[in-house]
Structures are given as structure tokens and as C-alpha cells.
Amino acid sequence: MALWKKILIGMIAGILVGAFLGPEAELLKPIGTLFINAIKMLIVPLVFCSLVVGVTSMQDTAKMGRIGIKSILIYLATTAVAISIGLGLGTIFEPGAGLNMQPDAGAAAAAKEAPSLVSTLIGLIPKNPIEALAGGKILQIIVFALGLGIALNLIGEKGEPAVKMFNSLAEAMYKLTELVMKFAPYGIFALMAWVAGKYGLEVLLPLIKVIAAVYIGCILHVLVVYSGAISVIAGLKPVQYLKGIVNAQMMAFTSTSSSGTLPVSIRCARENLGVSKGTASFVLPLGATINMDGTALYQGVCALFIAQAFGIDLSMADYMTIIATATLASVGTAGVPGAGLIMLSLVLTTVGLPMEGLAIVAGIDRILDMARTCVNVSGDLMVSVLIGKSENELNEDIYNAKDPVSEPEMVQS
């Protein structure tokens, strides 16, 4: 049976068992944590090795710069669309209407300060690459790996042994990802049971409109915006894209971490979508760190929800501010569970909405995080296809293969 089918069964069984056990399902959580840890173990070596390999296999530095700029532009554009969808749905659904909440001065949560642009830029260069690797600082790792890859290209023959070593390490990490993924159905079963047990219907019902608005927005974004881009911009069949990313989506949905899903996304991009090794290993780690469309969409819905719940009217200028801040906030959001909630505080402060709103959203944040992370990861994969297609780095035979999710042997490119 294909892996995604086993994972799907694990998910459904997990929800049923969790609903039956209630909070007791917490007992199963360690099995899920074990799986998540095993995947996390892969991130740093995989990103580092595969990025070095990507750069050394590309040779052409101008092409690399072009890919970087194109990716960032598409990332930002789709994020702005996502947040507009969030604001639109927040207006239509009015999830906070009639709640009549009063700001309570004592309960204000601490707002997150926006980091300055200069400090963000300076922070991109690791003073100590080993520290960046040890701390899992993906953007710093990307910068160091790019530098190392370019240097290896420049020294030509002398660099070959190192290039071979990185190549073989990268292949080993892909294989290890495949092995760890065999455990996915069980890990995902345990995580779903825990979530379903923790959030019974009583917790979810009062906030059902927020949940519905976020989920509908997320589904629309993937089905309309991403599929549309695949079909209109790349001229490819969106169905193949949707089929090819199922494993990564399920992983994102249950782990609520785009960084944690990275090893699986890279596999999906290469094996199912036919994106070249170089492009996948450059575009996806970058996307997992800065491209968070689901998070932006969620921030739009939640900002409106909180404004409505506290009876605050927002002006057109406020909407514009929300679009700008949420786009930037989503870039600064780490691809880890719950990070979007912290960044929501930034959006709330900029438009002067009460921080207490965070507490209400926090109660159901995991449920919202599952959907938004799924979109974050789907967006990264969509961009990898667009870039692959425009740079002639996409194998259309693999992309159009009949059953892309049937775990074919690793594609060597």
C-alpha cells in the first residue's frame, strides 16, 4: 500500500481513538514525539549537504541569483494574496460578531517586538557556522552552504573530493528520510489521537466560525491560487501537483512544522514533481523559513475575529497595515509549531487591537496551526515547480507520471 494511504488510515484511526480516549490519549503522545524527533534529526544535515550539492551541480552563479530573486518575489506575492483571502473570509464569516468582549487591562499578553531590518540582515551571516548548524538556524545554514558551494566550484578539481563526499552524504540523508517515513503512519496516528483527545467538541464549538474561516481559506488558497499558478504560469496539470504533495501535506498537518516537514517536502519535490536536486534543495529550505502563506491567512482571519469580538471598527488603512505587517510577520515566523501565534501579537499591536484576543485564539491554536502549516508547505512546493519549470529544471516525465505517490526509487539527477 502507498505510504500516503497508510498515513491517512493512521490519521483517521488516531482521531477516532483520541475522541474515544479523551485527555487520556496524552499517553500516546510520546510515540508521536519520537517520530517528530527522528524527522527533525534529518533537517540540518539534509539541508546543508543537499544545498552544497545543489550549488555545486549548478555551476552558473547568475542562474542561482535569478532563482533566489524569483522565489522570493513569488513567495511575497502569494503571501499578500493569502492574507487578503483571510481578511475577505473574516469579513464574510464575522467569526467574532456578537461576542462582546471587553479589554481587560490586567490580562494583556506581552507583544512581540518587530526585529529591525538591519539586525535581520546582519543575522543572516553566521559568525560561527558550526554554531548555526548546532542551533538549526536555517537561514544562516543556507548562507554558509551557498558560500561553501560557490567556493568549491571556484577551486575546480581540488574541490572534487569534498563535492563527492557531500553528494554521498546527501544521498544517505534522503535514504534515511525514506526509512524514517516508514514509521510515519504510527507517529501520525499517535499525534492525531493526542490532538483529538485534547480538543473535544466543547473546546471547539464556540470558536467553530474561526476554525471554519481558516480551513476554508486554506483549502481555497491551495485549490485556487496554487493550482491556478501551476496551470496558468507553468502550464502544467494541477492534479499532478496536488497528488504529488500529499505526503508532505500530511506530515505538515500533523507535525505543525514546516521546517520539520522539509525532508519530506524535498523528497516529494524530487520524486513526485520531478524538480531537480539543485532547485529543490535551494527553493524549499528558503521557503520553509520565509514563505508562510497559511500563517498570513490565519493572521488576517484572527485579526478580524479579535476586532469583531471586542467591537472595534477597522478602517481601510488598518486593513492595509494588516496586509503589510502580516506579510512581513509571516516572513519572520519560524517554521515551528505555534510560531504564528506569537507573530500574531505583532499584527495586533500594529493596528492597536487588544492583546487579550491572543488568549482566546491560543486555546485552539493547534487546530489552526495544522491547516496553516499544510498551506505553508504546499506553497513552498508550488514555487519549486514554477521555478523548476521556468529554469528548465523540471523533469516533466516524472511530474506527469501516473501514480506519483507510489514511492518510486530515488531519482538520481
Binding site residues, ligand ASP, CB under 6 A? 256-258, 292, 295, 333, 335-340, 369, 372-373, 376
Q: State residue 118 phi and psi, 5-degree precision.
A: -60, -45
Distances (CA, A) of 63 to 55, 278, 392: 10, 11, 11
For 128, the 3-state DSSP assignment is coil
- In angstroms, what CA-CA distances link 202 with 12, 196, 205, 335, 364? 20, 12, 6, 29, 11
| Least separation in angstroms between CB 137 and ligand ASP | 15
Angle between helices 365-390 and 184-198 (to 10 degrees): 140
Query: Which residue, 173, 135, 134, is CA-closest to 52?
Result: 173
Burial of 409 (0-12, 13-18, 19+ CB in 10 A): exposed
Based on CB atoms, which residue is closest to ligand ASP, 273 or 302?
Answer: 302
Question: Smaller CB distance to ligand ASP: residue 64 or 339?
Answer: 339
For the CB of residue 328, give the shortest distance to ligand ASP in the complex, in Å. Answer: 14
Q: Which is nearer to ligand ASP, 189 or 298 (CB)?
A: 298
For ligand ASP, give the closer residue by CB, 159 or 338.
338
One-letter amino acid for residue 305 of the chain: F
Selection from 283, 248, 250 nearest residue 263 by Cα:
248
Tell me how many degrees the CA angle 143-137-109 measures, rounded to the nearest 5: 130
Q: Closest approach of Cβ 204 to ligand ASP, in Å?
A: 19
- The least CB distance from residue 128 to ligand ASP, in Å, is 26
**Which residue, 207 or 377, is less far from ligand ASP as judged by CB?**
377
Q: How far is the CB of 284 from ligand ASP (least distance, A)?
A: 13
Of the CA atoms within 13 Å of residue 117, those in its CB half-sphere come to 1
Q: Are 337 and 362 in contact (CB under 8 A)?
A: no
How far, in Å, CA of 351 to CA of 358, rounded? 14
Count of other CB atoms within 10 angstroms of residue 306:
28
Q: Please identify, using beta-carbon distances, which residue of 47 and 148 lies nearer to ligand ASP.
A: 47
CA–CA gap between residue 165 and residue 80 (Å, rounded): 41
Q: How far is the CB of 20 from ligand ASP (least distance, A)?
A: 27
Whichever of 44 and 58 has its CB closer to ligand ASP, that residue is: 44
The residue with its CB nearest to ligand ASP is 340
In the complex, minimum distance from the CB of residue 16 to ligand ASP, in angstroms, rounded to a whole number = 25
